[in-house]
Protein backbone atom coordinates (compact mmCIF):
# COMPACT_ATOMS: atom_id res chain seq x y z
CA UNK A 1 0.00 0.00 0.00
CA UNK A 2 2.86 2.37 0.87
CA UNK A 3 4.40 1.82 -2.57
CA UNK A 4 1.15 2.76 -4.30
CA UNK A 5 0.92 5.91 -2.17
CA UNK A 6 4.53 6.81 -3.01
CA UNK A 7 3.85 6.25 -6.71
CA UNK A 8 0.89 8.64 -6.79
CA UNK A 9 2.80 11.18 -4.72
CA UNK A 10 5.61 11.11 -7.29
CA UNK A 11 3.13 11.65 -10.14
CA UNK A 12 1.62 14.63 -8.28
CA UNK A 13 5.03 16.26 -7.81
CA UNK A 14 6.13 15.75 -11.42
CA UNK A 15 2.87 17.11 -12.81
CA UNK A 16 3.00 20.29 -10.75
CA UNK A 17 2.78 23.33 -13.06
CA UNK A 18 3.51 26.18 -10.70
CA UNK A 19 7.30 26.00 -10.68
CA UNK A 20 7.36 24.86 -7.05
CA UNK A 21 10.04 22.15 -7.33
CA UNK A 22 13.39 22.40 -5.55
CA UNK A 23 14.74 25.08 -7.86
CA UNK A 24 15.82 28.70 -7.37
CA UNK A 25 13.15 31.20 -6.43
CA UNK A 26 12.15 32.26 -9.96
CA UNK A 27 10.41 35.40 -8.76
CA UNK A 28 10.62 38.32 -11.17
CA UNK A 29 7.17 39.82 -10.57
CA UNK A 30 8.49 43.03 -8.98
CA UNK A 31 11.51 43.39 -11.27
CA UNK A 32 11.49 45.96 -14.08
CA UNK A 33 12.07 44.85 -17.66
CA UNK A 34 15.34 46.00 -19.18
CA UNK A 35 16.26 45.93 -22.85
CA UNK A 36 19.15 46.13 -25.26
CA UNK A 37 19.63 45.51 -28.95
CA UNK A 38 16.91 44.29 -31.27
CA UNK A 39 15.31 42.73 -29.24
CA UNK A 40 16.65 41.45 -25.92
CA UNK A 41 14.27 41.74 -22.96
CA UNK A 42 15.62 40.70 -19.59
CA UNK A 43 15.11 40.81 -15.85
CA UNK A 44 17.75 40.50 -13.15
CA UNK A 45 16.90 39.45 -9.61
CA UNK A 46 20.21 39.28 -7.75
CA UNK A 47 21.96 36.25 -9.33
CA UNK A 48 18.91 35.07 -11.31
CA UNK A 49 18.15 36.21 -14.85
CA UNK A 50 15.22 35.72 -17.19
CA UNK A 51 15.86 36.55 -20.86
CA UNK A 52 13.70 36.72 -23.98
CA UNK A 53 15.25 37.31 -27.41
CA UNK A 54 12.93 38.11 -30.31
CA UNK A 55 13.22 38.85 -34.01
CA UNK A 56 10.50 41.48 -34.46
CA UNK A 57 11.17 41.96 -38.22
CA UNK A 58 10.30 45.67 -38.14
CA UNK A 59 11.26 48.43 -40.56
CA UNK A 60 14.40 50.46 -39.89
CA UNK A 61 12.40 53.42 -38.54
CA UNK A 62 10.48 51.29 -36.03
CA UNK A 63 11.56 49.69 -32.76
CA UNK A 64 10.00 46.90 -30.73
CA UNK A 65 9.08 49.20 -27.85
CA UNK A 66 7.71 52.03 -30.03
CA UNK A 67 5.34 49.95 -32.11
CA UNK A 68 1.60 49.39 -31.67
CA UNK A 69 1.42 45.64 -31.06
CA UNK A 70 -2.04 44.09 -31.08
CA UNK A 71 -2.22 40.50 -29.84
CA UNK A 72 1.07 39.75 -31.61
CA UNK A 73 2.51 36.31 -30.88
CA UNK A 74 6.06 34.97 -31.09
CA UNK A 75 6.80 31.27 -30.77
CA UNK A 76 9.94 30.89 -28.65
CA UNK A 77 12.30 28.00 -27.91
CA UNK A 78 15.59 27.47 -26.13
CA UNK A 79 17.61 28.67 -29.12
CA UNK A 80 17.23 30.35 -32.50
CA UNK A 81 15.92 33.80 -33.43
CA UNK A 82 13.14 33.65 -30.84
CA UNK A 83 14.43 32.15 -27.61
CA UNK A 84 13.86 32.15 -23.90
CA UNK A 85 16.14 31.24 -21.00
CA UNK A 86 16.26 31.34 -17.23
CA UNK A 87 19.71 31.29 -15.68
CA UNK A 88 21.28 31.35 -12.25
CA UNK A 89 24.68 33.02 -12.14
CA UNK A 90 27.74 32.77 -9.95
CA UNK A 91 27.00 36.35 -8.89
CA UNK A 92 24.63 39.14 -9.86
CA UNK A 93 25.35 40.36 -13.42
CA UNK A 94 25.07 43.96 -14.51
CA UNK A 95 22.69 45.07 -17.26
CA UNK A 96 25.62 45.39 -19.66
CA UNK A 97 26.10 41.61 -19.47
CA UNK A 98 23.23 41.14 -21.95
CA UNK A 99 24.25 43.97 -24.25
CA UNK A 100 27.57 42.55 -25.42
CA UNK A 101 28.09 40.39 -28.48
CA UNK A 102 30.46 38.19 -26.48
CA UNK A 103 29.37 37.74 -22.84
CA UNK A 104 32.07 38.48 -20.27
CA UNK A 105 33.87 35.62 -18.56
CA UNK A 106 32.41 36.62 -15.20
CA UNK A 107 29.89 36.02 -13.78
CA UNK A 108 29.38 32.49 -15.04
CA UNK A 109 26.18 30.54 -15.60
CA UNK A 110 25.66 27.97 -12.84
CA UNK A 111 22.36 26.56 -14.11
CA UNK A 112 20.26 27.19 -17.20
CA UNK A 113 16.67 26.38 -18.04
CA UNK A 114 15.63 26.71 -21.69
CA UNK A 115 12.30 25.93 -23.18
CA UNK A 116 9.30 26.81 -25.24
CA UNK A 117 6.26 29.00 -25.12
CA UNK A 118 4.27 31.64 -26.93
CA UNK A 119 5.08 35.27 -26.19
CA UNK A 120 2.01 37.53 -26.47
CA UNK A 121 2.67 41.25 -26.95
CA UNK A 122 0.13 44.05 -26.59
CA UNK A 123 0.61 47.82 -26.61
CA UNK A 124 -1.41 50.57 -24.96
CA UNK A 125 -0.71 53.67 -27.08
CA UNK A 126 -1.36 57.32 -26.23
CA UNK A 127 -0.43 60.78 -27.50
CA UNK A 128 -0.34 63.98 -25.47
CA UNK A 129 1.15 67.45 -25.66
CA UNK A 130 1.44 67.54 -21.84
CA UNK A 131 0.09 71.08 -21.69
CA UNK A 132 -1.91 70.68 -18.48
CA UNK A 133 -5.27 70.59 -20.28
CA UNK A 134 -7.46 67.48 -20.50
CA UNK A 135 -8.41 67.43 -24.17
CA UNK A 136 -9.59 63.83 -24.51
CA UNK A 137 -13.31 64.61 -24.83
CA UNK A 138 -12.95 65.85 -28.41
CA UNK A 139 -9.91 64.48 -30.20
CA UNK A 140 -10.91 66.28 -33.40
CA UNK A 141 -10.98 69.77 -31.88
CA UNK A 142 -8.53 72.06 -33.71
CA UNK A 143 -8.97 75.61 -32.40
CA UNK A 144 -6.39 77.33 -34.61
CA UNK A 145 -7.21 75.31 -37.74
CA UNK A 146 -3.60 74.30 -38.36
CA UNK A 147 -4.48 70.66 -39.02
CA UNK A 148 -3.15 69.54 -35.63
CA UNK A 149 -5.84 68.65 -33.07
CA UNK A 150 -5.54 70.42 -29.73
CA UNK A 151 -4.57 67.32 -27.73
CA UNK A 152 -1.26 67.09 -29.62
CA UNK A 153 -0.85 70.81 -30.39
CA UNK A 154 1.66 72.65 -28.20
CA UNK A 155 -0.05 75.93 -29.15
CA UNK A 156 -3.81 75.43 -29.31
CA UNK A 157 -4.74 78.95 -30.45
CA UNK A 158 -1.82 79.50 -32.84
CA UNK A 159 -0.47 82.63 -31.14
CA UNK A 160 3.10 81.31 -30.90
CA UNK A 161 2.85 80.89 -27.13
CA UNK A 162 2.66 77.34 -25.86
CA UNK A 163 -0.54 76.39 -24.08
CA UNK A 164 1.53 75.44 -21.01
CA UNK A 165 2.92 79.00 -20.88
CA UNK A 166 -0.54 80.57 -21.05
CA UNK A 167 -1.06 79.57 -17.43
CA UNK A 168 -0.68 83.17 -16.27
CA UNK A 169 -1.47 82.62 -12.60
CA UNK A 170 0.91 79.63 -12.43
CA UNK A 171 -1.54 77.23 -10.82
CA UNK A 172 -0.90 74.48 -13.40
CA UNK A 173 -4.27 75.00 -15.11
CA UNK A 174 -4.33 77.14 -18.29
CA UNK A 175 -8.11 76.83 -18.55
CA UNK A 176 -8.79 79.41 -15.82
CA UNK A 177 -6.67 82.26 -17.22
CA UNK A 178 -8.66 84.86 -19.20
CA UNK A 179 -6.79 88.17 -19.31
CA UNK A 180 -9.36 90.20 -21.28
CA UNK A 181 -12.40 88.64 -19.55
CA UNK A 182 -14.11 87.72 -22.81
CA UNK A 183 -14.99 84.22 -21.62
CA UNK A 184 -12.27 82.61 -23.75
CA UNK A 185 -9.22 81.40 -21.82
CA UNK A 186 -5.91 82.73 -23.10
CA UNK A 187 -4.78 79.34 -24.43
CA UNK A 188 -7.73 79.39 -26.87
CA UNK A 189 -7.80 83.17 -27.46
CA UNK A 190 -5.88 84.61 -30.42
CA UNK A 191 -5.96 88.04 -28.75
CA UNK A 192 -5.30 87.60 -25.05
CA UNK A 193 -5.57 91.22 -23.95
CA UNK A 194 -8.44 92.22 -26.27
CA UNK A 195 -6.65 95.13 -27.92
CA UNK A 196 -6.31 95.80 -31.64
CA UNK A 197 -3.26 93.55 -32.14
CA UNK A 198 -3.38 89.75 -32.00
CA UNK A 199 -1.09 88.05 -29.51
CA UNK A 200 1.00 86.48 -32.29
CA UNK A 201 2.06 89.99 -33.33
CA UNK A 202 2.83 91.34 -29.85
CA UNK A 203 5.94 90.94 -27.72
CA UNK A 204 5.96 88.46 -24.85
CA UNK A 205 8.89 90.23 -23.19
CA UNK A 206 8.59 93.98 -23.85
CA UNK A 207 6.64 96.39 -21.64
CA UNK A 208 6.16 99.45 -23.84
CA UNK A 209 4.46 101.66 -21.24
CA UNK A 210 6.48 100.48 -18.24
CA UNK A 211 3.54 99.32 -16.14
CA UNK A 212 5.05 95.88 -15.43
CA UNK A 213 2.62 94.13 -17.78
CA UNK A 214 4.11 92.64 -20.93
CA UNK A 215 2.59 93.98 -24.13
CA UNK A 216 0.67 90.90 -25.23
CA UNK A 217 -1.26 90.94 -21.92
CA UNK A 218 -1.67 94.73 -21.72
CA UNK A 219 -4.74 96.23 -23.43
CA UNK A 220 -3.16 99.69 -23.13
CA UNK A 221 -0.33 98.86 -25.53
CA UNK A 222 -0.71 97.79 -29.13
CA UNK A 223 2.89 97.62 -30.28
CA UNK A 224 3.72 95.05 -32.95
CA UNK A 225 6.78 92.85 -33.48
CA UNK A 226 8.53 92.59 -36.83
CA UNK A 227 9.54 88.92 -36.56
CA UNK A 228 7.18 86.18 -35.48
CA UNK A 229 8.32 83.68 -32.88
CA UNK A 230 7.69 80.62 -35.13
CA UNK A 231 7.02 78.18 -32.32
CA UNK A 232 7.82 74.55 -33.15
CA UNK A 233 5.05 72.12 -32.26
CA UNK A 234 5.87 68.90 -30.40
CA UNK A 235 4.06 66.18 -28.51
CA UNK A 236 4.82 62.87 -26.81
CA UNK A 237 3.90 59.35 -27.90
CA UNK A 238 3.76 56.79 -25.08
CA UNK A 239 3.83 53.02 -25.56
CA UNK A 240 3.00 50.64 -22.68
CA UNK A 241 4.07 47.20 -23.90
CA UNK A 242 2.77 44.20 -21.97
CA UNK A 243 4.45 40.81 -22.42
CA UNK A 244 2.86 37.50 -21.41
CA UNK A 245 4.16 33.98 -21.99
CA UNK A 246 1.43 31.35 -22.44
CA UNK A 247 2.33 28.65 -21.73
CA UNK A 248 5.83 28.79 -20.29
CA UNK A 249 7.71 25.49 -20.23
CA UNK A 250 11.34 25.49 -19.13
CA UNK A 251 13.68 22.61 -18.33
CA UNK A 252 17.34 22.30 -17.31
CA UNK A 253 19.90 19.65 -18.20
CA UNK A 254 18.73 17.52 -15.26
CA UNK A 255 15.17 17.50 -16.55
CA UNK A 256 13.86 19.74 -13.75
CA UNK A 257 10.90 21.70 -15.12
CA UNK A 258 9.46 25.17 -14.55
CA UNK A 259 5.95 25.25 -15.97
CA UNK A 260 3.30 27.96 -15.96
CA UNK A 261 0.03 27.99 -17.86
CA UNK A 262 0.50 31.76 -18.18
CA UNK A 263 3.37 33.91 -16.96
CA UNK A 264 3.22 37.71 -16.81
CA UNK A 265 6.68 38.84 -17.87
CA UNK A 266 5.65 42.45 -17.27
CA UNK A 267 4.97 45.85 -18.78
CA UNK A 268 7.53 48.36 -20.00
CA UNK A 269 6.73 51.98 -20.86
CA UNK A 270 8.58 53.89 -23.57
CA UNK A 271 8.01 57.46 -24.73
CA UNK A 272 9.31 59.51 -27.62
CA UNK A 273 8.92 63.15 -28.60
CA UNK A 274 7.42 63.87 -32.00
CA UNK A 275 8.15 67.09 -33.90
CA UNK A 276 5.83 67.22 -36.94
CA UNK A 277 7.38 68.46 -40.15
Instruction: For 53-104, give the DSSP string.
Output: E------TT--GGGS--SSEEEEEBSSSSSEEEEEEESSPPPGGGGGSSS--
pTM of the model: 0.82
CB neighbours of residue 50 within 10 Å: 25
Angle at 131 between CA 130 and CA 133, to 5 degrees: 105
Nearest-CA neighbor of 57 among 76, 74, 35? 74
pLDDT in tens, 81-138: 899 999 999 999 999 998 887 778 889 999 999 999 999 999 999 999 999 999 988 9
Q: How many CA atoms lie within 13 A of 133 on its CB side?
A: 29
Residues composing the chain: 277
Residue 233: C-alpha distances to residues 29, 202, 236, 243 (Å): 39, 19, 11, 33
Residue numbers in the chain where pLDDT is lower than 70 = 1-24
Average pLDDT over the chain, rounded to whole? 89
Q: How many CA atoms lie within 13 A of 168 on its CB side?
A: 17
Residue 56's pLDDT is 84
Compute the radius of gyration of the chain from its Cα atoms. Answer: 29
Residue 15's pLDDT is 41
Domain boundaries, the chain: 15-127+238-274, 131-233
Nearest-CA neighbor of 253 among 113, 117, 116? 113
Amino acid sequence: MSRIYLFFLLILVLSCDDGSLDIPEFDFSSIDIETCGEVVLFKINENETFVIELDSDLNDDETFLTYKWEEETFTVSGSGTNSIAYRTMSEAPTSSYFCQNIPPTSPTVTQEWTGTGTVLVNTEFSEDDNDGVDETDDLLLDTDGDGIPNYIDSDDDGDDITTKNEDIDGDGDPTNDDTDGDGIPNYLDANDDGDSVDTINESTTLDANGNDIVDYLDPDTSSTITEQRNLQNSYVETYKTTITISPLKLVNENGEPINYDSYEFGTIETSKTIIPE
